A and B are shown apart, each in its own frame.
Chain A
Protein backbone atom coordinates (compact mmCIF):
# COMPACT_ATOMS: atom_id res chain seq x y z
CA UNK A 1 0.00 0.00 0.00
CA UNK A 2 1.20 3.44 -0.75
CA UNK A 3 0.60 6.63 1.14
CA UNK A 4 -1.01 9.39 -0.89
CA UNK A 5 1.55 11.81 -2.31
CA UNK A 6 2.36 14.45 0.26
CA UNK A 7 1.89 18.07 -0.54
CA UNK A 8 5.19 19.51 -1.47
CA UNK A 9 6.85 21.16 1.49
CA UNK A 10 10.43 21.41 0.27
CA UNK A 11 10.68 22.85 -3.24
CA UNK A 12 13.45 21.68 -5.57
CA UNK A 13 14.75 25.17 -6.27
CA UNK A 14 16.43 25.22 -2.86
CA UNK A 15 19.22 23.16 -4.52
CA UNK A 16 20.10 26.16 -6.67
CA UNK A 17 20.99 28.30 -3.62
CA UNK A 18 19.63 31.27 -5.45
CA UNK A 19 21.74 30.82 -8.58
CA UNK A 20 20.31 31.02 -12.06
CA UNK A 21 22.80 28.65 -13.66
CA UNK A 22 24.76 25.68 -12.43
CA UNK A 23 28.47 25.97 -11.64
CA UNK A 24 31.07 25.05 -14.25
CA UNK A 25 31.14 25.67 -17.94
CA UNK A 26 30.24 22.25 -19.27
CA UNK A 27 26.49 21.75 -19.37
CA UNK A 28 25.25 18.57 -17.75
CA UNK A 29 22.76 16.38 -19.49
CA UNK A 30 20.17 13.93 -18.23
CA UNK A 31 22.36 11.12 -19.43
CA UNK A 32 25.70 12.50 -18.16
CA UNK A 33 27.33 9.74 -16.15
CA UNK A 34 28.55 10.63 -12.68
CA UNK A 35 31.42 8.92 -10.84
CA UNK A 36 32.77 9.67 -7.40
CA UNK A 37 36.26 10.92 -8.14
CA UNK A 38 37.61 12.10 -4.82
CA UNK A 39 36.65 12.52 -1.19
CA UNK A 40 33.79 14.81 -0.39
CA UNK A 41 35.07 18.35 0.06
CA UNK A 42 34.10 20.22 3.19
CA UNK A 43 31.61 23.04 3.24
CA UNK A 44 28.88 21.60 1.08
CA UNK A 45 25.31 20.88 2.02
CA UNK A 46 23.64 17.63 2.98
CA UNK A 47 22.24 17.16 -0.50
CA UNK A 48 25.76 17.15 -1.97
CA UNK A 49 26.78 14.44 0.46
CA UNK A 50 23.73 12.42 -0.47
CA UNK A 51 24.45 12.63 -4.19
CA UNK A 52 28.12 11.81 -3.64
CA UNK A 53 27.28 8.78 -1.50
CA UNK A 54 24.73 7.68 -4.04
CA UNK A 55 27.23 7.50 -6.89
CA UNK A 56 30.21 6.31 -4.82
CA UNK A 57 29.69 2.58 -5.33
CA UNK A 58 29.77 2.93 -9.11
CA UNK A 59 28.30 5.31 -11.58
CA UNK A 60 24.87 6.71 -12.21
CA UNK A 61 23.39 8.88 -14.86
CA UNK A 62 22.17 12.23 -13.73
CA UNK A 63 18.57 11.22 -14.38
CA UNK A 64 18.92 8.12 -12.21
CA UNK A 65 20.58 10.06 -9.42
CA UNK A 66 17.79 12.63 -9.59
CA UNK A 67 15.19 9.90 -9.28
CA UNK A 68 16.95 8.48 -6.21
CA UNK A 69 17.11 11.91 -4.60
CA UNK A 70 13.48 12.52 -5.59
CA UNK A 71 14.45 15.82 -7.17
CA UNK A 72 13.88 17.13 -10.68
CA UNK A 73 16.85 16.76 -13.04
CA UNK A 74 17.13 20.53 -13.34
CA UNK A 75 17.80 20.81 -9.61
CA UNK A 76 20.13 17.81 -9.46
CA UNK A 77 22.25 19.47 -12.15
CA UNK A 78 23.13 22.20 -9.66
CA UNK A 79 24.24 19.70 -7.02
CA UNK A 80 26.25 17.60 -9.44
CA UNK A 81 27.90 20.66 -10.97
CA UNK A 82 28.99 21.86 -7.53
CA UNK A 83 30.60 18.51 -6.82
CA UNK A 84 32.19 18.32 -10.26
CA UNK A 85 33.64 21.80 -9.87
CA UNK A 86 35.34 20.74 -6.63
CA UNK A 87 36.64 17.56 -8.20
CA UNK A 88 34.57 15.21 -6.07
CA UNK A 89 32.66 13.91 -9.06
CA UNK A 90 33.84 13.20 -12.56
CA UNK A 91 31.29 13.65 -15.29
CA UNK A 92 31.40 11.69 -18.51
CA UNK A 93 29.53 12.79 -21.56
CA UNK A 94 26.52 10.67 -22.43
CA UNK A 95 27.32 7.49 -24.34
CA UNK A 96 26.14 8.11 -27.91
CA UNK A 97 23.44 5.76 -28.98
CA UNK A 98 24.72 3.03 -31.33
CA UNK A 99 24.17 3.55 -35.06
CA UNK A 100 22.32 0.69 -36.75
CA UNK A 101 24.55 -1.21 -39.20
CA UNK A 102 23.97 -0.46 -42.85
CA UNK A 103 22.98 -3.93 -43.97
CA UNK A 104 23.29 -3.09 -47.65
CA UNK A 105 26.88 -1.90 -47.24
CA UNK A 106 27.76 -4.96 -45.14
CA UNK A 107 26.36 -7.31 -47.75
CA UNK A 108 28.26 -5.58 -50.51
CA UNK A 109 31.43 -5.77 -48.45
CA UNK A 110 30.86 -9.47 -47.79
CA UNK A 111 30.27 -10.25 -51.44
CA UNK A 112 33.39 -8.23 -52.37
CA UNK A 113 35.48 -10.22 -49.89
CA UNK A 114 34.12 -13.48 -51.28
CA UNK A 115 34.91 -12.31 -54.77
CA UNK A 116 38.57 -11.87 -53.75
CA UNK A 117 38.97 -15.64 -53.31
Chain B
Protein backbone atom coordinates (compact mmCIF):
# COMPACT_ATOMS: atom_id res chain seq x y z
CA UNK B 1 0.00 0.00 0.00
CA UNK B 2 2.60 2.16 0.85
CA UNK B 3 4.09 1.40 -2.44
CA UNK B 4 0.94 2.24 -4.10
CA UNK B 5 0.79 5.38 -2.26
CA UNK B 6 4.36 5.96 -2.97
CA UNK B 7 3.79 4.98 -6.52
CA UNK B 8 0.81 7.15 -6.64
CA UNK B 9 2.75 9.78 -5.07
CA UNK B 10 5.54 9.19 -7.44
CA UNK B 11 3.08 9.15 -10.31
CA UNK B 12 1.47 12.19 -9.02
CA UNK B 13 4.78 13.66 -8.59
CA UNK B 14 5.67 12.67 -12.08
CA UNK B 15 2.45 14.19 -13.37
CA UNK B 16 2.59 17.18 -11.15
CA UNK B 17 6.07 18.08 -12.32
CA UNK B 18 5.01 19.23 -15.78
CA UNK B 19 1.86 20.67 -14.35
CA UNK B 20 3.80 22.78 -12.07
CA UNK B 21 6.12 23.97 -14.79
CA UNK B 22 3.26 24.86 -17.06
CA UNK B 23 1.51 26.61 -14.26
CA UNK B 24 4.63 28.55 -13.61
CA UNK B 25 4.93 29.28 -17.22
CA UNK B 26 1.34 30.49 -17.41
CA UNK B 27 1.90 32.71 -14.45
CA UNK B 28 5.05 34.13 -16.09
CA UNK B 29 3.17 34.81 -19.27
CA UNK B 30 0.39 36.48 -17.36
CA UNK B 31 2.87 38.69 -15.62
CA UNK B 32 4.54 39.62 -18.85
CA UNK B 33 1.16 40.42 -20.36
CA UNK B 34 0.33 42.57 -17.42
CA UNK B 35 3.65 44.33 -17.75
CA UNK B 36 3.15 44.99 -21.39
CA UNK B 37 -0.35 46.27 -20.77
CA UNK B 38 1.05 48.68 -18.19
CA UNK B 39 3.72 49.82 -20.58
CA UNK B 40 1.18 50.32 -23.35
CA UNK B 41 -0.93 52.25 -20.96
CA UNK B 42 2.02 54.41 -20.05
CA UNK B 43 2.83 54.97 -23.65
CA UNK B 44 -0.76 55.90 -24.38
CA UNK B 45 -0.64 58.45 -21.59
CA UNK B 46 2.61 59.87 -22.89
CA UNK B 47 1.15 60.17 -26.36
CA UNK B 48 -1.86 61.91 -24.97
CA UNK B 49 0.31 64.38 -23.08
CA UNK B 50 2.33 65.00 -26.20
CA UNK B 51 -0.82 65.53 -28.19
CA UNK B 52 -2.01 68.10 -25.64
CA UNK B 53 1.33 69.82 -25.72
CA UNK B 54 1.25 69.91 -29.49
CA UNK B 55 -2.24 71.37 -29.35
CA UNK B 56 -1.11 74.08 -26.93
CA UNK B 57 1.82 74.87 -29.13
CA UNK B 58 -0.37 75.08 -32.14
CA UNK B 59 -2.63 77.57 -30.36
CA UNK B 60 0.36 79.54 -29.28
CA UNK B 61 1.67 79.56 -32.81
CA UNK B 62 -1.65 80.81 -34.01
CA UNK B 63 -1.59 83.61 -31.47
CA UNK B 64 1.95 84.49 -32.46
CA UNK B 65 0.88 84.66 -36.04
CA UNK B 66 -2.02 86.95 -35.21
CA UNK B 67 0.12 89.31 -33.12
CA UNK B 68 2.80 89.37 -35.79
CA UNK B 69 0.17 90.37 -38.25
CA UNK B 70 -0.97 93.18 -35.94
CA UNK B 71 2.59 94.30 -35.47
CA UNK B 72 3.08 94.37 -39.17
CA UNK B 73 0.02 96.57 -39.54
CA UNK B 74 1.18 98.87 -36.78
CA UNK B 75 4.62 99.10 -38.31
CA UNK B 76 3.09 100.01 -41.63
CA UNK B 77 1.01 102.75 -39.98
CA UNK B 78 4.05 104.08 -38.18
CA UNK B 79 5.98 104.09 -41.38
CA UNK B 80 3.29 106.15 -43.11
CA UNK B 81 3.19 108.58 -40.22
CA UNK B 82 6.96 108.88 -40.18
CA UNK B 83 6.97 109.60 -43.88
CA UNK B 84 4.37 112.32 -43.38
CA UNK B 85 6.38 113.83 -40.57
CA UNK B 86 9.53 113.70 -42.58
CA UNK B 87 7.81 115.48 -45.43
CA UNK B 88 6.49 118.11 -43.01
CA UNK B 89 9.96 118.53 -41.51
CA UNK B 90 11.48 118.93 -44.95
CA UNK B 91 8.85 121.54 -45.77
CA UNK B 92 9.58 123.34 -42.48
CA UNK B 93 13.31 123.29 -43.10
CA UNK B 94 12.86 124.56 -46.65
CA UNK B 95 10.62 127.29 -45.27
CA UNK B 96 13.24 128.08 -42.63
CA UNK B 97 16.01 128.31 -45.19
CA UNK B 98 14.13 130.30 -47.79
CA UNK B 99 11.78 132.48 -45.75
CA UNK B 100 12.38 132.64 -42.03
CA UNK B 101 16.18 132.90 -41.91
CA UNK B 102 16.50 135.63 -44.55
CA UNK B 103 13.66 137.56 -42.91
CA UNK B 104 15.22 137.20 -39.47
CA UNK B 105 18.59 138.32 -40.85
CA UNK B 106 16.95 141.37 -42.43
CA UNK B 107 15.18 142.06 -39.14
CA UNK B 108 18.55 142.39 -37.47
CA UNK B 109 19.14 145.58 -39.42
CA UNK B 110 15.51 146.59 -40.01
CA UNK B 111 13.64 145.80 -36.83
CA UNK B 112 10.26 146.36 -38.43
CA UNK B 113 10.69 143.51 -40.93
CA UNK B 114 8.04 140.82 -40.28
CA UNK B 115 9.59 137.43 -39.55
CA UNK B 116 7.27 134.52 -40.55
CA UNK B 117 6.71 131.69 -38.09
CA UNK B 118 6.65 127.95 -38.86
CA UNK B 119 4.24 126.67 -41.53
CA UNK B 120 2.40 124.25 -39.24
CA UNK B 121 1.05 126.09 -36.26
CA UNK B 122 -1.41 123.42 -35.08
CA UNK B 123 1.07 122.15 -32.53
CA UNK B 124 1.65 118.48 -31.95
CA UNK B 125 5.15 118.73 -33.33
CA UNK B 126 6.80 120.72 -30.61
CA UNK B 127 10.04 118.83 -30.86
CA UNK B 128 10.51 119.78 -34.49
CA UNK B 129 9.59 123.40 -33.77
CA UNK B 130 12.01 123.56 -30.89
CA UNK B 131 14.73 122.22 -33.16
CA UNK B 132 13.85 124.73 -35.90
CA UNK B 133 13.87 127.61 -33.43
CA UNK B 134 17.21 126.44 -32.13
CA UNK B 135 18.59 126.50 -35.69
CA UNK B 136 17.18 129.98 -36.22
CA UNK B 137 18.55 131.19 -32.88
CA UNK B 138 21.99 129.75 -33.51
CA UNK B 139 22.13 131.24 -36.99
CA UNK B 140 21.09 134.68 -35.70
CA UNK B 141 23.57 134.56 -32.84
CA UNK B 142 26.30 133.70 -35.28
CA UNK B 143 25.21 136.51 -37.60
CA UNK B 144 25.11 138.99 -34.71
CA UNK B 145 28.53 138.01 -33.48
CA UNK B 146 29.94 138.32 -36.96
CA UNK B 147 28.27 141.68 -37.41
CA UNK B 148 29.68 142.92 -34.12
CA UNK B 149 33.12 141.83 -35.18
CA UNK B 150 32.87 143.45 -38.61
CA UNK B 151 31.46 146.62 -37.09
CA UNK B 152 34.21 146.80 -34.51
CA UNK B 153 36.79 146.46 -37.26
CA UNK B 154 35.08 149.17 -39.31
CA UNK B 155 34.88 151.43 -36.25
CA UNK B 156 38.57 150.97 -35.55
CA UNK B 157 39.48 151.85 -39.12
CA UNK B 158 37.18 154.86 -39.03
CA UNK B 159 38.56 155.97 -35.69
CA UNK B 160 42.09 156.03 -37.01
CA UNK B 161 41.20 157.92 -40.15
CA UNK B 162 38.88 160.37 -38.41
CA UNK B 163 41.37 161.36 -35.74
CA UNK B 164 44.08 162.06 -38.36
CA UNK B 165 41.74 164.13 -40.54
CA UNK B 166 40.38 165.92 -37.51
CA UNK B 167 43.81 166.94 -36.32
CA UNK B 168 44.68 168.29 -39.77
CA UNK B 169 41.42 170.21 -40.09
CA UNK B 170 41.96 171.81 -36.68
CA UNK B 171 45.39 172.92 -37.87
CA UNK B 172 43.81 174.36 -41.02
CA UNK B 173 41.34 176.21 -38.83
CA UNK B 174 44.09 177.78 -36.73
CA UNK B 175 45.97 178.81 -39.85
CA UNK B 176 42.86 180.33 -41.41
CA UNK B 177 42.13 182.22 -38.23
CA UNK B 178 45.65 183.59 -38.23
CA UNK B 179 45.52 184.64 -41.88
CA UNK B 180 42.15 186.33 -41.37
CA UNK B 181 43.80 188.82 -39.05
CA UNK B 182 46.17 190.04 -41.75
CA UNK B 183 44.32 189.41 -45.01
CA UNK B 184 40.91 191.00 -45.54
CA UNK B 185 39.69 188.80 -48.37
CA UNK B 186 36.13 187.64 -47.54
CA UNK B 187 36.83 184.39 -49.38
CA UNK B 188 38.91 183.40 -46.38
CA UNK B 189 35.71 183.48 -44.34
CA UNK B 190 33.98 181.25 -46.87
CA UNK B 191 36.93 178.87 -46.77
CA UNK B 192 36.83 178.83 -42.99
CA UNK B 193 33.13 177.92 -43.13
CA UNK B 194 33.73 175.02 -45.51
CA UNK B 195 36.50 173.80 -43.26
CA UNK B 196 34.19 173.94 -40.26
CA UNK B 197 31.50 171.93 -42.09
CA UNK B 198 34.07 169.28 -42.97
CA UNK B 199 35.33 169.22 -39.42
CA UNK B 200 31.83 168.64 -38.10
CA UNK B 201 31.35 165.64 -40.41
CA UNK B 202 34.62 164.12 -39.30
CA UNK B 203 33.83 164.82 -35.66
CA UNK B 204 30.51 163.03 -35.84
CA UNK B 205 32.23 160.03 -37.47
CA UNK B 206 34.82 160.10 -34.71
CA UNK B 207 32.08 160.05 -32.07
CA UNK B 208 30.30 157.19 -33.84
CA UNK B 209 33.48 155.20 -34.05
CA UNK B 210 33.79 155.51 -30.31
CA UNK B 211 36.63 157.96 -29.97
CA UNK B 212 36.95 161.06 -27.83
CA UNK B 213 35.24 164.09 -29.40
CA UNK B 214 38.68 165.26 -30.30
CA UNK B 215 38.96 168.66 -28.74
CA UNK B 216 39.39 169.91 -25.21
CA UNK B 217 37.90 173.19 -24.20
CA UNK B 218 37.73 175.32 -21.13
CA UNK B 219 34.48 176.17 -19.42
CA UNK B 220 32.56 177.76 -22.28
CA UNK B 221 29.64 180.19 -22.07
CA UNK B 222 26.45 178.49 -23.16
CA UNK B 223 25.54 181.36 -25.48
CA UNK B 224 28.89 180.98 -27.25
CA UNK B 225 28.46 177.22 -27.46
CA UNK B 226 25.10 177.70 -29.16
CA UNK B 227 26.51 180.15 -31.68
CA UNK B 228 29.51 177.90 -32.15
CA UNK B 229 27.17 175.02 -32.94
CA UNK B 230 25.23 177.29 -35.29
CA UNK B 231 28.40 178.08 -37.20
CA UNK B 232 28.92 174.39 -38.00
CA UNK B 233 25.67 174.02 -39.91
CA UNK B 234 25.23 174.61 -43.63
CA UNK B 235 22.10 176.74 -43.31
CA UNK B 236 23.31 178.72 -40.30
CA UNK B 237 21.92 182.06 -41.53
CA UNK B 238 18.37 180.72 -40.99
CA UNK B 239 18.98 179.93 -37.36
CA UNK B 240 17.81 182.56 -34.90
CA UNK B 241 19.09 182.18 -31.38
CA UNK B 242 17.36 184.00 -28.54
CA UNK B 243 19.15 184.08 -25.24
CA UNK B 244 16.83 183.95 -22.22
CA UNK B 245 19.54 183.25 -19.67
CA UNK B 246 19.28 185.08 -16.36
CA UNK B 247 23.01 184.77 -15.92
CA UNK B 248 24.91 185.68 -19.11
CA UNK B 249 28.08 183.98 -17.86
CA UNK B 250 26.34 180.64 -17.49
CA UNK B 251 28.78 178.18 -18.98
CA UNK B 252 29.14 174.51 -19.71
CA UNK B 253 31.88 172.78 -17.76
CA UNK B 254 35.03 172.08 -19.74
CA UNK B 255 34.56 168.31 -19.94
CA UNK B 256 31.18 168.62 -21.63
CA UNK B 257 31.72 171.81 -23.64
CA UNK B 258 32.75 170.33 -26.97
CA UNK B 259 30.32 167.37 -26.71
CA UNK B 260 27.45 169.79 -26.11
CA UNK B 261 28.56 171.86 -29.10
CA UNK B 262 28.70 168.74 -31.28
CA UNK B 263 25.28 167.55 -30.11
CA UNK B 264 23.74 170.96 -30.68
CA UNK B 265 25.32 171.17 -34.12
CA UNK B 266 23.72 167.82 -34.98
CA UNK B 267 20.33 169.04 -33.72
CA UNK B 268 20.63 172.24 -35.73
CA UNK B 269 21.88 170.27 -38.71
CA UNK B 270 18.75 168.09 -38.62
CA UNK B 271 16.53 171.13 -38.14
CA UNK B 272 17.96 172.97 -41.15
CA UNK B 273 18.23 169.90 -43.35
CA UNK B 274 14.61 168.86 -42.86
CA UNK B 275 12.94 172.23 -43.17
CA UNK B 276 12.29 174.51 -46.12
CA UNK B 277 15.26 176.78 -46.91
CA UNK B 278 13.02 179.82 -46.61
CA UNK B 279 11.91 179.07 -43.07
CA UNK B 280 13.61 179.98 -39.83
CA UNK B 281 14.94 177.63 -37.21
CA UNK B 282 14.14 179.08 -33.81
CA UNK B 283 16.48 178.42 -30.90
CA UNK B 284 15.80 179.50 -27.34
CA UNK B 285 18.39 179.23 -24.57
CA UNK B 286 16.58 178.93 -21.27
CA UNK B 287 17.76 178.75 -17.70
CA UNK B 288 15.55 176.52 -15.59
CA UNK B 289 15.68 175.92 -11.87
CA UNK B 290 17.78 172.78 -12.15
CA UNK B 291 19.79 173.34 -15.28
CA UNK B 292 19.69 174.91 -18.68
CA UNK B 293 17.68 174.05 -21.77
CA UNK B 294 18.26 174.68 -25.42
CA UNK B 295 15.02 174.37 -27.35
CA UNK B 296 15.25 174.07 -31.13
CA UNK B 297 12.12 174.34 -33.27
CA UNK B 298 11.96 173.95 -37.00
CA UNK B 299 9.08 174.49 -39.34
CA UNK B 300 9.79 171.49 -41.51
CA UNK B 301 7.82 168.41 -42.39
CA UNK B 302 8.11 166.84 -38.97
CA UNK B 303 8.65 163.18 -38.16
CA UNK B 304 6.34 160.19 -38.25
CA UNK B 305 5.50 158.59 -34.88
CA UNK B 306 7.70 155.57 -35.60
CA UNK B 307 10.60 157.83 -36.61
CA UNK B 308 10.13 159.78 -33.40
CA UNK B 309 10.16 156.52 -31.47
CA UNK B 310 13.34 155.32 -33.13
CA UNK B 311 14.94 158.75 -32.58
CA UNK B 312 13.87 158.60 -28.92
CA UNK B 313 15.56 155.20 -28.53
CA UNK B 314 18.77 156.50 -30.09
CA UNK B 315 18.71 159.65 -27.97
CA UNK B 316 18.15 157.71 -24.74
CA UNK B 317 21.20 155.67 -25.56
CA UNK B 318 19.00 152.55 -25.30
CA UNK B 319 19.46 151.40 -28.85
CA UNK B 320 22.77 149.88 -29.75
CA UNK B 321 24.46 151.84 -32.49
CA UNK B 322 26.18 149.96 -35.27
CA UNK B 323 27.66 151.66 -38.29
CA UNK B 324 25.82 149.20 -40.48
CA UNK B 325 22.50 150.30 -39.00
CA UNK B 326 22.77 153.95 -39.92
CA UNK B 327 21.38 153.48 -43.38
CA UNK B 328 22.69 154.64 -46.69
CA UNK B 329 23.52 157.51 -46.72
CA UNK B 330 24.26 157.19 -43.01
CA UNK B 331 21.94 159.18 -40.80
CA UNK B 332 24.17 159.67 -37.84
CA UNK B 333 22.65 162.71 -36.14
CA UNK B 334 20.51 161.14 -33.44
CA UNK B 335 23.00 158.33 -32.87
CA UNK B 336 25.80 160.85 -32.29
CA UNK B 337 23.66 162.91 -29.91
CA UNK B 338 22.56 159.79 -28.02
CA UNK B 339 26.15 158.57 -27.60
CA UNK B 340 27.28 161.97 -26.34
CA UNK B 341 24.31 162.23 -23.98
CA UNK B 342 25.13 158.87 -22.46
CA UNK B 343 28.84 159.59 -22.15
CA UNK B 344 28.66 163.10 -20.77
CA UNK B 345 25.46 163.15 -18.77
CA UNK B 346 23.19 165.54 -20.61
CA UNK B 347 19.89 164.70 -22.23
CA UNK B 348 17.99 165.27 -25.42
CA UNK B 349 14.50 164.49 -26.60
CA UNK B 350 12.50 165.21 -29.73
CA UNK B 351 8.79 165.81 -30.05
CA UNK B 352 6.37 167.40 -32.50
CA UNK B 353 6.89 171.14 -32.51
CA UNK B 354 4.11 173.70 -32.11
CA UNK B 355 5.77 175.37 -35.12
CA UNK B 356 4.79 172.36 -37.21
CA UNK B 357 8.12 170.61 -37.51
CA UNK B 358 10.22 168.96 -34.85
CA UNK B 359 11.13 170.36 -31.46
CA UNK B 360 14.41 169.16 -29.98
CA UNK B 361 15.18 169.91 -26.36
CA UNK B 362 18.71 169.65 -25.04
CA UNK B 363 18.81 169.47 -21.24
CA UNK B 364 21.97 170.40 -19.40
CA UNK B 365 21.83 169.33 -15.74
CA UNK B 366 23.20 171.65 -13.07
CA UNK B 367 26.32 169.57 -12.50
CA UNK B 368 27.49 170.32 -16.04
CA UNK B 369 27.00 174.06 -15.60
CA UNK B 370 29.31 176.64 -14.15
CA UNK B 371 30.05 180.34 -14.47
CA UNK B 372 32.90 181.72 -16.52
CA UNK B 373 35.41 184.24 -15.41
CA UNK B 374 33.81 187.70 -15.73
CA UNK B 375 37.08 189.06 -17.12
CA UNK B 376 36.85 186.84 -20.18
CA UNK B 377 34.75 188.74 -22.72
CA UNK B 378 31.97 187.08 -24.63
CA UNK B 379 32.28 186.91 -28.39
CA UNK B 380 30.72 189.86 -30.18
CA UNK B 381 28.72 187.39 -32.26
CA UNK B 382 27.13 185.61 -29.29
CA UNK B 383 23.56 186.68 -28.52
CA UNK B 384 23.11 188.74 -25.38
CA UNK B 385 20.43 187.78 -22.87
CA UNK B 386 17.31 189.67 -23.77
CA UNK B 387 16.29 190.12 -20.16
CA UNK B 388 19.42 192.19 -19.74
CA UNK B 389 19.87 195.66 -21.14
CA UNK B 390 21.61 196.24 -24.38
CA UNK B 391 25.21 195.08 -24.61
CA UNK B 392 27.64 197.71 -23.58
CA UNK B 393 30.97 198.60 -25.02
CA UNK B 394 32.94 201.17 -23.15
CA UNK B 395 35.10 202.78 -25.77
CA UNK B 396 37.42 204.12 -23.08
CA UNK B 397 38.61 200.69 -21.95
CA UNK B 398 41.20 198.63 -23.68
CA UNK B 399 38.80 195.73 -23.89
CA UNK B 400 35.03 195.91 -24.08
CA UNK B 401 33.31 194.79 -20.94
CA UNK B 402 29.76 194.04 -20.02
CA UNK B 403 28.09 195.64 -17.03
CA UNK B 404 24.73 195.01 -15.58
CA UNK B 405 23.01 198.26 -15.00
CA UNK B 406 19.50 197.20 -14.19
CA UNK B 407 18.73 194.71 -11.48
CA UNK B 408 16.87 191.74 -12.84
CA UNK B 409 13.18 191.80 -12.31
CA UNK B 410 12.16 188.45 -10.89
CA UNK B 411 9.44 186.34 -12.55
CA UNK B 412 9.48 188.61 -15.50
CA UNK B 413 8.15 187.11 -18.66
CA UNK B 414 10.65 187.56 -21.39
CA UNK B 415 9.58 190.67 -23.25
CA UNK B 416 10.67 191.33 -26.77
CA UNK B 417 14.19 192.66 -26.86
CA UNK B 418 13.11 195.80 -28.56
CA UNK B 419 10.59 196.72 -25.87
CA UNK B 420 12.99 195.87 -23.13
CA UNK B 421 15.84 197.84 -24.56
CA UNK B 422 13.80 200.94 -25.08
CA UNK B 423 11.76 200.92 -21.95
CA UNK B 424 13.89 199.47 -19.20
CA UNK B 425 14.44 202.31 -16.78
CA UNK B 426 17.61 202.67 -14.81
CA UNK B 427 17.08 203.09 -11.12
CA UNK B 428 20.51 204.65 -10.85
CA UNK B 429 20.88 208.39 -11.27
CA UNK B 430 22.47 209.25 -14.59
CA UNK B 431 26.03 210.27 -13.90
CA UNK B 432 27.75 212.94 -15.93
CA UNK B 433 29.95 211.80 -18.75
CA UNK B 434 29.83 210.82 -22.33
CA UNK B 435 30.50 207.11 -22.38
CA UNK B 436 27.81 205.12 -24.18
CA UNK B 437 27.04 203.44 -20.91
CA UNK B 438 26.17 206.65 -19.11
CA UNK B 439 24.55 208.26 -22.10
CA UNK B 440 22.32 205.27 -22.47
CA UNK B 441 21.16 205.18 -18.86
CA UNK B 442 20.50 208.92 -18.95
CA UNK B 443 18.60 208.56 -22.16
CA UNK B 444 16.52 205.61 -20.99
CA UNK B 445 15.69 207.41 -17.73
CA UNK B 446 14.46 210.38 -19.75
CA UNK B 447 12.48 208.10 -22.04
CA UNK B 448 10.78 206.21 -19.24
CA UNK B 449 9.99 209.48 -17.49
CA UNK B 450 8.39 210.85 -20.65
CA UNK B 451 6.42 207.65 -21.17
CA UNK B 452 5.20 207.69 -17.60
CA UNK B 453 4.25 211.35 -17.84
CA UNK B 454 2.37 210.86 -21.08
CA UNK B 455 0.39 207.90 -19.88
CA UNK B 456 -0.47 209.81 -16.72
CA UNK B 457 -1.67 212.75 -18.81
CA UNK B 458 -3.73 210.43 -21.01
CA UNK B 459 -5.53 208.93 -18.01
CA UNK B 460 -6.09 211.74 -15.52
CA UNK B 461 -8.90 209.89 -13.72
CA UNK B 462 -6.88 206.77 -13.06
CA UNK B 463 -6.84 206.13 -9.32
CA UNK B 464 -3.56 204.22 -9.55
CA UNK B 465 -1.63 207.30 -10.56
CA UNK B 466 0.90 207.30 -13.33
CA UNK B 467 1.11 204.05 -15.20
CA UNK B 468 4.36 202.22 -15.10
CA UNK B 469 6.23 202.02 -18.35
CA UNK B 470 5.58 199.01 -20.44
CA UNK B 471 7.67 195.94 -19.84
CA UNK B 472 8.34 196.60 -16.17
CA UNK B 473 6.32 195.21 -13.34
CA UNK B 474 4.98 197.61 -10.80
CA UNK B 475 6.49 196.82 -7.43
CB distance from A90 to the nearest CB of B (A): 18
Residue total for A at the interface (Cβ-Cβ under 8 A): 40
Q: Is the CB of B184 within 8 A of A30?
A: yes
Given A9-B379, A14-B381; A53-B189 close (CB under 8 Å): no
B278 at interface by CB-CB < 8 Å: no
Residues of B in contact with A, size category: 35 or more
Residue contact B220 to A9, C-beta cutoff 8 Å: yes
Q: Does A111 touch B at the CB level, under 8 Å? A: no
Known: A7-B215, A16-B189, A17-B237. A53 touches B227 (CB 8 A): no
Query: Is B231 within 8 A of A7, CB to CB?
Result: no
Chain A residues within 8 Å of B390, by CB: 49, 53
Nearest CB in chain A to that of B392: its residue? A53
Residue B365 at the A interface, CB < 8 A? no
Q: Is B377 an interface residue (CB 8 A)?
A: yes
CA distance A3 to B237 in the complex (A): 32
Answer whether A7 and B189 are a contact pair too, CB < 8 Å, given A54-B395, A70-B380: no
Q: Mark B322-335, 1 if CB is under 8 A from A, else 0.
A: 00000000000000
Return chain A residues, CB-CB under 8 Å to B196.
Answer: 11, 13
Assess the A46–B189 pair: CB atoms within 8 A.
no
> A46–B184 contact, CB under 8 A?
no
Which of chain A's residues have a CB closer than 8 A to the CB of B435?
57
CB within 8 Å of A: which of B376-390? 376-377, 379-384, 390
State the CA gap A45–B384 with chains docked (Å). Answer: 10
A selection of 13 A-B contacts at a CB cut-off of 8 Å is A7-B217, A9-B220, A11-B196, A12-B381, A46-B381, A47-B380, A49-B391, A53-B440, A57-B439, A58-B395, A68-B400, A74-B180, A77-B184
Which residues of B in the span 184-220 have a Cβ within 8 Å of any Cβ on A? 184-190, 192-193, 196, 215-218, 220
B176 to chain A: closest CB distance in Å?
9
Of B183, B188, B227, B440, the contact of A10 (CB 8 Å cutoff): B227
Any chain B CB within 8 A of the CB of A71? yes
B436 partner, pick from A9, A17, A53, A70, beta carbons under 8 A: A53
Q: Does B434 contact A (CB under 8 A)?
A: yes
| A9 to B257 alpha-carbon distance, docked (Å) | 10
Give a binary string over A7-33; 1 marks a CB under 8 Å from any B CB, 0 the rest.
111111111111011100000001000
Q: A10–B231 contact, CB under 8 A?
A: yes
- Quick check: B383 and A46 within 8 Å, CB to CB? yes
Rounded to whole angstroms, the CA-CA distance of A14 and B190 in the bound complex is 10
Asked, given contacts A77-B184, A77-B186, whether A70 binds B236 with beta carbons under 8 Å apart, the answer is no
User: Within 8 Å CB of B187, what residues of A?
Assistant: 20
In the complex the two chains form, is B188's CB within 8 Å of A68's CB?
Answer: no
Interface residues of B in 360-375 (CB under 8 A from A): 373, 375
Nearest CB of chain B from residue A16's CB, rounded to whole Å: 6
Q: Is the CB of A3 within 8 A of B373?
A: yes
Rounded to whole angstroms, the CA-CA distance of A72 and B418 in the bound complex is 28
